[in-house]
Structure 1
Amino acid sequence: MCGRGFDKAPSTGVCFDCVRIAEEERVMNRSPVAYTDQVAAWVRLFKYRGKEGLATPMGRWMAEVARVHYARENISLVTFVPLHEERLIQRGFNQAEKLADEVGRRLRLPVCPLLVRNKDTAYQSKRTREERLLALGGSVILADGAWKRHVANQVVLIVDDVYTTGATVRECAKPLRQAGVKKVCSVTFAR
């Protein structure tokens, strides 16, 4: 489900991380690269050093992965993990939105800001799995907008930069599913 590779598949065909998550809450994810030290350095340059141009090659790879792995899903639109307003002001841009713009352009799909972060959850990268789950609870809601009536029964692709535990993607999927989205998939640059 999450895109993690493993040498020997459990009998369920689902990795040990995903098997801990209720089936109805799982979100299939795919990533073009593994999260190595070099990849972490690229992500930091992009995210924290303002190298926004990295969105082009990163998004290109992500779009290709999405094209291959989700070919039969009939994705209708692309959205992205939202940043809290304070974080957006601090950083100057939302890295997930930049990646989504590139993915959407390459897949010829509309990119819609469907989600809003309604509380600042601080940096997730420094937290344990349990801390992430607690901090993220209820932190993402549907954005206001005319698009709401058009998402029911659609397949939505969520874009983010890094998939660690999947807590962020699952939190984003909750309000989408409540709005009647048929299926939620995600693509991240690294896993």
Structure 2
Amino acid sequence: MFTWLSNLTDYAQHLTQRLHYLLAPPGATCLTCGTRAILSSTYPGICPRCMKQIPWIRSIRCLRCGRGVGCPDCARPHLQNRSFILNRSAVQYNTLMKEWIGMYKFRGHERYAPLLTALLIQAFQAMREEQNSALAKEPPAPVAHSATHAQQTKPQWRPDAVTYVPVSSERLAERGFNQAERLAAGLASACRLPIVDLLQRQINTTKQSFKSRGERIESMKEVFSISPGAIDILRELYRGIIASNIVRVHSSPLCLVLIDDIYTTGSTLNACGRVILDIGLSRDIPIEIYTLTLARS
């Protein structure tokens, strides 16, 4: 009798599950809102409704830092000599983006990684188009004489390598990964660019989100240093662009894209860029740094 009732219960549960499957909307569960729907093929894991809520920075108001609204920071005299050429960010750092980034960065939800990387790749493609458009407006630069004749051509903007903002050993142990490194690796893989480890963090600063603007800038001093082996990496990259790319002349700088997750004051990126520029200057390696972040506050 007990066996018969048990079998009947199992059959009822199976039937209920089958009916739920047949009656449920087609598709899969959205990573961010939990709705069952046909998910986006471009932005992994999310439904069309969540995709429409992405706060893209489509209209740039500040050409230096990439902010979509008015920017008082870049007009300040002490910020005129920053280490990077310009910054571009994918999205505004609003409540939704804070939740998405926080789920990945602090709670370790790995399924957010492909989604956030896709946003960064979109921003990189927009930055590349912007730089190519700017190059098209410049007069063509002469290149070195070949065996036959000198050429004049317009180069396409393409960085030589991707690098990233490091985290301290304490943060790495706490989270188990560096979110900036993961984003950089995803971008480098998608765009077929080398990713290089150039920096290390000497000081574990307290969380930047709790600091004022002035405290953020002050706390970044002496935080970063060059990684062991980074000088050899820079030399190899610079020799490679001189030897292999006929579009570039000998004086062309090494072009790097520096990745972080969030741009607030730019103090972290500026400090990282300054370390790289200084080591390049000491070794006669001209370097240009462009920064790319997932979000802009």
Asked if TM exceeds 0.5, the reply is yes
TM-score, L = length of structure 2: 0.59
User: 235, 246, 250: which is aligned to 1:149?
Assistant: 235
1:59 alignment counterpart: 117
CA offsets 1:5-35 (integer angstroms, 9 cap, x no match): 236xxxxxxx321121443315311111101
- In the alignment, structure 1 residue 175 sits paired with structure 2 residue 275: yes
Deviating more after overlay: 78-87 vs 16-25: 16-25
Deviating more after overlay: 149-158 vs 31-40: 149-158
| Alpha-carbon spacing, 1:110–1:53, altered in 2? closer, same or farther (3 Å) | farther
How many percent identity over aligned positions? 33
2:65 alignment counterpart: 2
User: 24, 30, 39: which is aligned to 2:81?
Assistant: 24
Unaligned runs of 5+ in 2: 1-63, 133-156, 239-252, 281-285
CA offsets 1:156-181 (integer angstroms, 9 cap, x no match): 11111111111111011001111225
Alpha-carbon distance between aligned partners in 2 of 1:105 and 1:172, rounded to the nearest angstrom: 22
Alpha-carbon distance between aligned partners in 2 of 1:126 and 1:52, rounded to the nearest angstrom: 26
8 Å contact from structure 1 (residues 78, 157) kept in 2: yes
Larger radius of gyration: 2
Deviation at 1:149, TM superposition (A): 2.0
Deviation at 1:151, TM superposition (A): 5.1
2:202 alignment counterpart: 118
TM-score, L = length of structure 1: 0.89
Alpha-carbon distance between aligned partners in 1 of 2:288 and 2:222, rounded to the nearest angstrom: 20
8 Å contact from structure 1 (residues 158, 184) kept in 2: yes
8 Å contact from structure 1 (residues 142, 175) kept in 2: yes
Amino acid at match of 2:106: Y
Higher relative contact order (CA 8 A, sep 6+): 1
Q: CA RMSD in A?
A: 1.6
2:97 alignment counterpart: 39
Alpha-carbon distance between aligned partners in 2 of 1:156 and 1:172, rounded to the nearest angstrom: 12
| Alpha-carbon spacing, 1:151–1:143, altered in 2? closer, same or farther (3 Å) | farther
User: 173, 193, 215: which is aligned to 1:131?
Assistant: 215
8 Å contact from structure 2 (residues 73, 79) kept in 1: no
Unaligned runs of 5+ in 1: 8-14
| Alpha-carbon spacing, 1:36–1:108, altered in 2? closer, same or farther (3 Å) | same
8 Å contact from structure 1 (residues 151, 179) kept in 2: no
- In the alignment, structure 1 residue 185 sits paired with structure 2 residue 253: no
Question: Partner of 1:61: helix, strand, or coil?
Answer: helix
Amino acid at match of 2:236: H
Alpha-carbon distance between aligned partners in 1 of 2:176 and 2:69, rounded to the nearest angstrom: 37
Alpha-carbon distance between aligned partners in 1 of 2:237 and 2:220, rounded to the nearest angstrom: 23
